Amino acid sequence: MIIIPAIDMKDGRCVRLYQGEFDQQTEYSKDPVAVAHNFERLGFSHLHMVDLDGAQSGNQENQDIVRRIANTTDFSIQLGGGIRDQTSAELWLKSGVDRCVVGSLAVTQAESVKKWLEKVGGDRIVLALDVRINESGTPLLSTHGWTRESETSLWQCVDDYLASGLRHVLCTDISRDGAMSGPNVELYREFIQRYPDISLQASGGVRHIGDLEALRDAGAAAAITGRALLDGRISKQEISSFQHAE
């Protein structure tokens, strides 16, 4: 399993939100490029970047930062936030980004996103599917920065995309994001059992190296972690041991 560190950008800074709330953000650095270089020194090969300004407004305000990181590191970069049409996705894929992450549009404009998948290939698009677990235990999708609830389940959405070449899904249990409460391992284990041919990126709730080991044991292809790394809750030695154990 690959550990993918996350950099969320807001107004040119590296921040973390609590459960997607823009008024509950913590600033970690005024220099996201330096944060990326530090992650590279720790031995990571992949990087997850989110333009929070783009996610809010649809206008990507942090493009220069993304390009600087792409040009000065060897990361395989996946980028989300404000990518709302095929043209934007294709431009990023030609500008050093390896995968584009598509969130709300994957739910609200599924037919268009299916065409993107078929055009650029399933390995270049990641569907970011954010869920809240209802009282019956069904993971229901949320969109628009987690402000709108859907009656569509995670399973219905993924089933709908299978014929279009879907290969990568980033799944976040919203209740766990930024809360340092541990990942929803049972949800991810069920996903992997249902869709063994899809590479699952687990996101939300990672507190320490033990959580990453649990996700690896569940069969996740990757785990995204931001706050635990930025807070120093996972040490360089633990990262190295985990990577060498792969």
Structure tokens at 200: 């699952």
Structure tokens at 117: 């998948």
130 is catalytic: yes
**Residue from 51, 53, 130, 177 carrying the catalytic annotation:** 130
Cβ contacts of residue 163 below 8 Å, gap of 6+?
Answer: none
Buried residues in 32-60 as b, exposed as e (16+ CB within 10 A):
bbebbeebbebebebbbbbbbbbbeeeeb
What is the C-alpha separation between 212 and 93, in angstroms, rounded? 29
The beta strands (E) that lie in the chain are given as 2-10, 13-18, 21-29, 46-51, 76-80, 99-102, 125-133, 139-143, 148-153, 168-173, 199-203, 222-225
Catalytic residues: 8, 130
